[in-house]
Amino acid sequence: MQHPPEEHAVTPAEPIVIPRRLDPEDAQLALQKLQAILKREEVAEALAHRQENDDDESNLLEGMLQRRHENEIKSIVNSLHPSDIAFILESLPVNERQAVWQLVNPEFDADVLLEVDDWARESLIKTMDLQDLVAATGTMDADEIADLVPDLPPDVIAEVQKGLTDEERAQLIEAMGYPEGTVGAIMDFEMVRVREDVSLEVVLRYLRRLQELPDHTDQIFVVDRQDKLQGVLPVSKLLVSEPEIDVAQVMQTDFLTLSPLDSDADAAGAFERYDLVSAPVIDDHGRLIGRVTIAEVVDVIQEDSQEQALSRAGLQEEDIFAPALTALRNRAPWLLVNLATASTAAFIASRFEDTVSQIVILAFLMSIVAGIAGNSGNQTMTMVIRAIAVGRVSGASTWNLVKREIKITLMVGFCGSLVAAAFAWAISQSWAIALVMMVAMIGNMLMGAALGVLIPVLRDHFGKDPAMGSSVLLTFVTDSLGFFLFLGLASIFLL
């Protein structure tokens, strides 16, 4: 059997001894201890500066306290898994984050930089000099370096490339060439390949020569001499089959493949649907160029979930400890849109000033009509955005969705409006007001349900994030229409 090219061999990493078990509660406890130490250090520095002794004694005391606190921080942080260190750094204000980062053992630098979120990574890289950055990135694979390229200074990238082999440099350039949000941007190049005309015993001997397998190796890829993918050999099948059998006899030819330009969200959906651990990535000629593993897919799912939650409020991910002006640039645009929409709703309500002045109780009831419709529409919108994310909504199914949500809303709205009408009658003793309340609520809820489907579907159709600001737009319609329906009906039937 021809052994895989050098790029496919697994380069063993230096073993990292983790003296503590992996437990998220450990990270939470460590964070609390660090915050207490940092607070203590702040107080100690203040006391040292207030000493009435001479400056030399004060400086000596301050230095001793600082060294003691640094040793305590080192002992806590460097006993944690890199993922937990990343969590702690993300949970600290920028100045404290950078101070603690300086005390992290350099052997963890690469792993922490890969684990920490983008918005926090930038502040960490600012504190590192050229040699530290080159040393950290020098231990990474090409696909991992590509993840950090947007945050690394150009001179660091140039220096790192000097230390790569030609094959690694080609992999790095290839990984950097794929747009963010595609399979190519998240695939890795570490995998095991074999030929189909060798026996399983030969494959097992080859695997034993490797010091370790690439992470999440659940299948071995079977390729020809041109690296075209012929099939996959599950590791479980390899272990239970007779060693004399050839790979071609037990390999699977029915398998999922991904293209490097496929959406990473589509890949995540495929992993979820078929319960995959890894999947091969092939080019237009059928050649195996990489693979995607469940580790990358979990990150994609988590990032998409966070982005959707923020997008619905018109936000982008930000450092929660960033300066106020930075946060203002993130939050102001959609808040101004919300202000404009709220002003429109208020303007509509003001057009019915005479109606409200004559029947004051309407001022207390109209917010119910708008609020219930907004909540109902948001329920529909959440379902639709989720369906779009997993690819279950198409243009042909849009109107079916609208009709379904209208039917559901009509049933729910009828029941809810009976309760609202009873409440309106109880505080107004007017059956006419109760009836107006009931009709306006049902009408506004139906419009909210229809828009809860149409707003995200239309944004997705025009290539926009279906979640971005959708709730703001929905609230604008349900508030404005709710006031118009309720006060308009009241003007017609109650005056």
pLDDT tens string 2-25: 344 433 433 344 444 444 455 667
Q: What percent of the chain has pLDDT over 70?
A: 85
State the sign of the Cα–Cα–Cα–Cα dihedral 220, 225, 200, 197: positive
| Arithmetic mean of pLDDT over the chain | 84
Rounded to an integer, the average pLDDT of 137-149 is 87
What local confidence, expressed as pLDDT, does residue 16 receive? Answer: 42
Beta bridge partners of 258: 281
What local confidence, expressed as pLDDT, does residue 62 receive? Answer: 59
Q: How far is CA 41 from the centre of its chain?
A: 35
Whole-prediction pTM value?
0.70
Distance (Å, whole) CA 89 – CA 78 = 13
What local confidence, expressed as pLDDT, does residue 4 receive? Answer: 44
What local confidence, expressed as pLDDT, does residue 2 receive? Answer: 39
Q: What percent of the chain has pLDDT over 90?
A: 35
Class of domain 24-180: mainly alpha
What local confidence, expressed as pLDDT, does residue 393 receive? Answer: 75
Distance (Å, whole) CA 422 – CA 435 = 9
Please report, in angstroms and rounded to a whole number, the separation of the first and last CA atoms in the chain.
92
Distance (Å, whole) CA 384 – CA 232 = 36
Largest CA distance in the chain: 94
What local confidence, expressed as pLDDT, does residue 3 receive? Answer: 43
Distance (Å, whole) CA 183 – CA 266 = 9
Class of domain 188-311: alpha beta
Place of tokens 């651990």: 277
Q: What is the pLDDT of residues 339-375, one digit of tens each?
A: 888 888 888 888 898 888 888 888 888 888 888 888 8
Distance (Å, whole) CA 424 – CA 416 = 12
* Amino acid at residue number 306: Q
φ and ψ at 354, to 5 degrees? -65, -40
Q: Which residue has the higher pLDDT, 425 or 403?
A: 425
Question: Is residue 258 exposed (0-12), middle (13-18) or buried (19+ Cβ within 10 Å)?
Answer: buried
Instruction: pLDDT band for 222, please (50, 70, 90 cuts).
Output: very high
State the sign of the Cα–Cα–Cα–Cα dihedral 259, 263, 264, 266: negative
Q: Three-class SS of residue 493?
A: helix
What local confidence, expressed as pLDDT, does residue 1 receive? Answer: 38
- Residue 164: pLDDT above 90? no
- Determine if residue 361 is left, alpha or beta; phi over 0 gives left, psi from -120 to 50 gives alpha, anything else beta: alpha
DSSP state of 288: E
CA distances from 104 to 45, 84, 110, 138, 148 (A): 22, 12, 11, 18, 19
Q: Please say whether the beta carbons of 157 and 149 come within 8 A.
A: yes
Q: What is the pLDDT of residues 395-422, one digit of tens each?
A: 677 788 888 888 998 899 899 889 999 9
- Residue 242: pLDDT above 50? yes
The dotted CATH code for 324-493 is: 1.10.357.20
Q: Please say whether the beta carbons of 96 and 122 come within 8 A.
A: no
What local confidence, expressed as pLDDT, does residue 15 receive? Answer: 40
What local confidence, expressed as pLDDT, does residue 142 receive? Answer: 87
Q: Residue 200: name the closest of 165, 157, 233, 152 by CA.
A: 233
What local confidence, expressed as pLDDT, does residue 317 receive? Answer: 67
- Residue 302: pLDDT above 60? yes
What local confidence, expressed as pLDDT, does residue 249 receive? Answer: 94
Q: What is the pLDDT of residues 59-73, one digit of tens each?
A: 555 566 677 888 888
Distance (Å, whole) CA 405 – CA 377 = 9
Beta bridge partners of 252: 232
Rounded to an integer, the average pLDDT of 100-117 is 92
Cβ of 139: how many Cβ atoms within 10 Å?
15
Instruction: Kindly state the helix (H) or strand (E) to which residue 260 belongs, with its residue range.
Output: none
What are the sequence ranges of the domains in the chain?
24-180, 188-311, 324-493
What local confidence, expressed as pLDDT, does residue 400 receive? Answer: 82
Question: Is residue 443 exposed (0-12), middle (13-18) or buried (19+ Cβ within 10 Å)?
Answer: buried
Can you list the alpha helix ranges (DSSP code H) found in 275-361? Answer: 294-311, 324-350, 353-358
Instruction: pLDDT band for 264, please (50, 70, 90 cuts).
Output: very high
Q: What is the DSSP secondary-structure string of 60-74?
A: HHHHHHHHHHHHHHH
Q: Are strands 278-282 and 193-194 parallel, antiparallel or unpaired?
A: unpaired
